[in-house]
Amino acid sequence: MVSREGNVQHQHHKTQCVIILCFFVGEQVKYLTCSCGVFSKFLPNFRIEGTTVPMSSFLNPYPDFAQLESLLSNEQKQTQLTVRSFVQNEIEPKIVKAYRSEEFPVGLLAQMGAMGLLGANLSGYGLPGMDTVSYGLLMKELERCDSGIRSAASVQGALVMFPIHAFGTEEQKNYWLPRLFSAQSIGCFGLSESEGGSDPGAMKTTVKDKGDHYELNGSKMWITNGNLAEVGVIWAKTELGIRGFLVPLNLEGINVIKMQNKLSLRASITSELVFDRVKLPKSALLPKTEGLKSALQCLNQARFGISWGAIGAAEACFVEALHFAKNRILFKKSLTSFQLVQRKFALMATQITQAQLLVFRLSQIKEQQNLQPAQVSMAKQVCVEMALNVARTCRDILGANGIMDEYKTMRHMANLETVYTYEGTNDIHLLILGQELTGISAFN
């Protein structure tokens, strides 16, 4: 057995404490950590008052009570490990600064493009055609770091590349898909408007046919990646209904305004797009778009990724709070010794497991091309509500420490307030399920 003792002064606490690190007993690594609990979030096992407290075998290192890890193929496991390593090494060290400064980490999309992570579930045109579970794992690993990171990748793949892939001409696909896949070009998706909210059909943005060109007028709000984008997939009303258009954002008459002072999703770029008599070539039309249903097809692609991603955020909060609680001493014993705290962890682990099982099964159905919109709505509603509740509970367990950004839980909690609302609010998805079950629409 090897041990090491020392005194450490924590800059943010200005107090002295004793740490004992790295006890090796057999093949297990045990730890004693500082009395103030600062190191708890980094340590997997703890020795408290002479008793070894190992982590559960169902933490791998995140909750896996359904043992879904055992069902993954070698290729899926490799995808998960590769993305996890990339996130831990390249994104985690930058995310707190990015969140504080309300800036997306510079060059991150280019790195994702070089790794083949953008629109990876699409096939043809040089795209890898990643299987559905692997794509879900990718989204989960990104959002385990931050919802804003997953949002950037999700928009590029599900809301820009997918509509081009599904509704574009061969010329549009051949030009844009390789560029977007490699992040040589960045795109955004313009459906939401300031007064539209949950009723996208009430949009005021219009495109009029002027003979040899189109004229675009209106505005879009809450647009992820807007200030980074070269091109936007913009939805507008025409004489023939709602259609999608590929709009280069450097055209005369377009103003892209960064939305600032957000309290959530701060590491994501959010923009307003304003169009004033913008002249579009006839080649801008995505010819296979047919009404609002085409836009909603895109949203369902993104919502599926969100469902997986939200679980990653929940898992991150859960593990951080559990590590903290194991080493937090109250009334001369670990915080995890108390029944109320154990109950919270038990409920959270159960809810995370239920969400994991749901998205795993729906991924199998999606792989068979049988996934229905109501199933996607169920997943988005259940997974995001679960993740937000887990984040709130974990913040409570962290106590006062939970409001400091050295801990990730409150950042996830704030981000998930946005995820709870965008891509269809929680209530809207419940109404979609209600319509599926009753046959009666609550929207009309």
* CA 114 – CA 90 distance, rounded (Å): 13
Please give the structure tokens belonging to residue 123: 């096939």
Bridge partner list, 24? 29
Which residue carries 């809301």 as its tokens?
A: 159
In the chain, the amino acid numbered 45 is: N
Residue 430, judged by CB atoms within 10 A of its CB (0-12, 13-18, 19+), counts as middle
- Would you state the structure tokens that stand for residue 186, as one six-digit string? 């960045």
130: tokens are 């990643």
The dihedral built from the CA positions of residue 420, 423, 425 and 431, taken in this order, carries a sign that is: negative
Q: How far apart are CA 377 and CA 398, in angstroms?
A: 32
Integer angstrom CA distances of residue 22 from 3, 246, 396: 6, 57, 29
Both ends of the chain: CA-CA distance in Å?
70
Asked about 320 being catalytic, the answer comes back as no
- For 267-311, the DSSP string reads TS-EEEEEEEEEEE-GGGB-TT--SHHHHHHHHHHHHHHHHHHHH
Q: Which residues pair with 46 in a beta bridge?
A: 53
Per the CB < 8 A criterion, the answer to whether 53 and 37 are in contact is no
Active-site pick, 141, 193, 320, 423: 423
Active site residues: 423
